[in-house]
Amino acid sequence: MEKVATLEDIPQGKTLCVEIGGKEVLLCHTSEGVFAIDNMCSHAAARLCEGKLKGSKILCPLHGAAFDVRDGSALTRPAVRPVASYKVSLSGNDILLAIPQ
Amino acid sequence: MSTSHDDSAPGAARAPGFAVKETLEKDSRGAPPPLLEENFEFLGDEDIACSRYYSHEFAKKEMELMWGRCWQWACREEHLPDVGDNYVYNIGPYSVILVRSSEDKIEAFINSCSHRGTRILGGEGSGYSAQFTCPFHGWAWSLDGSLKELPARWDFPHVNEQTHSLQSVKCETWGGFVFINIDPDAKPLADSLDVLPEHFKHFPLERRRIRLHVQKVLPANWKAAQEAFMEAYHNFETHDSPSGADAQYDIFGKYVSRFIHHIGSYSVDSLEDYPGDKWRRPPLSEDDLLNILSVFGLDAKGIPEGETARSVAAEELRSKLGESLGIDLADTSDTIMLDSIEYHLFPHMFFFPGITVPMAYRFRPNGDDVDSSLFDLMILEPLAEGESHPEPPEPIRLEIEQSYTEVEALSWLGSVYDEDTGNLQLQQQGFKTSRKPGITLGNYQEARIRRMHMTLDEFLAK
């Protein structure tokens, strides 16, 4: 696990894109906690950090496709494939992430 | 007690006993002036054809000539707080995208690609995107609807921003609701609001938030479904309730009507020709009435000298709800605290100014099915002073066979809505069973239903 941000960096309802292992990962702070998914949309590779978090959904800036940030599943067309999701741990205010392979 | 009434002219008769107005005039804080207004005129007593509720031909005309040309609320402004936030609203074959295109502007567009027609956004409800992109060939538009990207533009010399931008839909706001009208030649929304802006100055709906949104499929035509909510006449039989036989009904114009159904009080005399002795001999005491009101979460047990069930309940709710909502309700009238006050806006929208009964309703056709409808029920909670609207909840969807009691947040209202909607399937079937070609309406208690059909006919005649 590697520290990638602190809770102060991401107010609830907001997202933060971090780079880890050469990969862009999107941290999403929802009312249910912090979740991490791939930053690239599985449909047309737009960057989800430029979209918007609504509840536990992230909406892609390009087509508006929705993903569940809790598990990366695709909720609406045109996205049909999930985005990868990563395990997040908290240590105090530190947000820790397992390095994606 | 005003028991004498000149009821010789049709529509002039009223329930025996005291009227709602008399309850309102005794309000401990003084009822807001619009609620003391009475506005009723007799609209006729002819039957309404049953076929209006199931004919495919009628539904088709209704879709084209009425739904395609009337103002209808699509979403709340709180669904679109930030630039790029959008909301898809569907009605029959029509689908409209509403979007906050800039900080101070909400626009609406036909949800169809100008290339080969595909709906740009699927489903219905809240979304976000920085631009609109068609999922078929990738044509894209800016949030203001102007054509932005056209892959392989070399093949489309006949296409440009003027010819292929998104088609604009008329869009206006009132009371925190965003309305659309699909007709490009529609007159302004204000022309269809009658007294609503004047009356709701006293009850600002823009200062409300969506606490709960339930969307259910109902087994009847949209008109029959909403008509189950336009009168309190059914309360005795459907809800096993003593009140409702004495509600006040107002018709404010072609588009707006109202009922005021007082809670925690009823006129015993209004039940004079109802079957049995229930609630008449003996009548309910003020203590009994307070006990009925305990569904509002009241702790009060007794009624002090000189008080009534209404005044005790209203006072307790003022402090309880005032505290939980963060609002000073000290001067709020008993009637706003307690009563079911329902304004209907043609063709299918309802707004409640009350605090304990704070709903908004919308009834629509369910696609092109004449035998079912979609009922959107929102609880609109007053917003604390200075507080901005939180993110609205996603609608909870219930299918035709599900019960409102499955929605825990509805609490005691769950079973009430089950009762309200429990007769709809029988009625929809009965429209087709009936040998009599039309339904019959009460001259006073069911006049709001007639007003709706009259305005609908005006749309169909155009």
Q: How does pLDDT run across B230-289, given as a tens digit for each residue?
A: 999 999 999 988 888 899 999 999 999 999 999 999 999 999 999 888 899 899 999 999
Strands in B53-113 per DSSP E: 72-76, 85-91, 94-102, 105-110
| DSSP β-bridge partners for residue A36 | A27, A86
Count of other CB atoms within 10 angstroms of residue B172: 17
| DSSP β-bridge partners for residue B263 | none
Among B121, B133, B391, select the one facing A55 at the smallest CB separation. B391
**Contacts B128 to A, Cβ<8 Å:** 51-52, 54, 59, 61, 64
Contact with chain B for residue A73, Cβ under 8 A: no
Residues B53-71, mean pLDDT to the nearest whole number: 98
What is the per-residue pLDDT for B462? Answer: 77
**Contacts A50 to B, Cβ<8 Å:** 130
Percentage of the residues of chain B whose pLDDT score is greater than 70: 99
Band the pLDDT of A100: cuts 50, 70, 90: low
What is the per-residue pLDDT for A98? Answer: 85
Percentage of the residues of chain B whose pLDDT score is greater than 90: 94
Interchain CB distance below 8 Å, B135 and A63: yes
What is the per-residue pLDDT for A101? Answer: 64
What is the distance in angstroms between the Cα of B97 and the nearest Cα belonging to chain A?
Answer: 12
What is the per-residue pLDDT for B1? Answer: 42
For the stretch B277-308, pLDDT in tens is 889 989 999 999 999 999 999 998 889 999 99
What is the per-residue pLDDT for A1? Answer: 87
Residue B211 C-alpha from the chain's centroid = 15
User: What are the b/e assignments for B178-207, b being 16+ CB within 10 Å?
Assistant: bbbbbeeebeebeebbbbbeebbeebebeb
Q: Is the pLDDT at A62 greater than 50, yes or no?
A: yes
| DSSP β-bridge partners for residue B361 | B350, B377
Instruction: Evaluate whether B364 touches B348 at the Cβ level (below 8 Å).
Output: yes
Nearest CA in chain A to B135: A78
Q: Which two tokens stand for residue B345?
A: 């806006």
Nearest CA in chain B to A57: B127
Residues of B within an 8 Å Cβ radius of A: 82, 84-86, 121-123, 126-133, 135, 391, 394
Cα–Cα distance measured from residue B67 to residue A72, given in angstroms and rounded to the nearest whole number: 39
Q: Which two tokens stand for residue B158?
A: 């006949």
Question: Same CATH fold, B72-185 and B20-53+195-461?
Answer: no
Residues B427-445, mean pLDDT to the nearest whole number: 97
Q: Is the pLDDT at B3 greater than 60, yes or no?
A: no
What is the distance in angstroms between the Cα of A44 and the nearest Cα belonging to chain B?
Answer: 10
Q: Of B216, B211, B274, which Cα lies nearest the Cα of B420?
A: B216
At the topology level, CATH places domain B72-185 in: Rieske Iron-sulfur Protein (2.102.10)
Interchain CB distance below 8 Å, A76 and B123: yes
Residue B318 C-alpha from the chain's centroid = 25
Contact with chain B for residue A60, Cβ under 8 A: yes
Q: Is the pLDDT at A44 greater than 50, yes or no?
A: yes
| Domain extent listing, chain B | 20-53+195-461, 72-185
What is the distance in angstroms between the Cα of B155 and the nearest Cα belonging to chain A?
Answer: 23
What is the per-residue pLDDT for B214? Answer: 98
Residues B185-199, mean pLDDT to the nearest whole number: 97
Cα–Cα distance measured from residue B307 to residue B304, given in angstroms and rounded to the nearest whole number: 6
Residues B150-154, mean pLDDT to the nearest whole number: 97
Q: Is the pLDDT at B5 greater than 60, yes or no?
A: no
Q: Of A84, A28, A31, which Cα lies nearest the Cα of A53?
A: A28
- Looking at the domain covering B20-53+195-461, what would its CATH class be? alpha beta
What is the distance in angstroms between the Cα of A81 and the nearest Cα belonging to chain B?
Answer: 15
Report the SS3 class of residue B226: helix
Cα separation values, A92 from A7, A18, A28, B54, B262, Å: 9, 19, 17, 63, 54
Interchain CB distance below 8 Å, A63 and B84: no
Tell me the backbone φ, ψ of residue A8, rounded to 5 degrees.
-60, -25
**Contacts A81 to B, Cβ<8 Å:** none
What is the per-residue pLDDT for A24? Answer: 94
Residues A8-13, mean pLDDT to the nearest whole number: 94
> ipTM of this model?
0.83
Cα separation values, B293 from B33, B39, B100, B299, B380, Å: 25, 29, 42, 10, 21
For the stretch B110-148, pLDDT in tens is 999 999 999 999 999 999 999 999 999 999 999 999 999
Count of other CB atoms within 10 angstroms of residue A100: 14
Q: Which two tokens stand for residue B201?
A: 């100055």
Contact with chain B for residue A64, Cβ under 8 A: yes
Residues B154-175, mean pLDDT to the nearest whole number: 98
Alpha-carbon radius of gyration of chain A: 12
Band the pLDDT of B177: cuts 50, 70, 90: very high
* CATH no., domain A2-91: 2.102.10.10
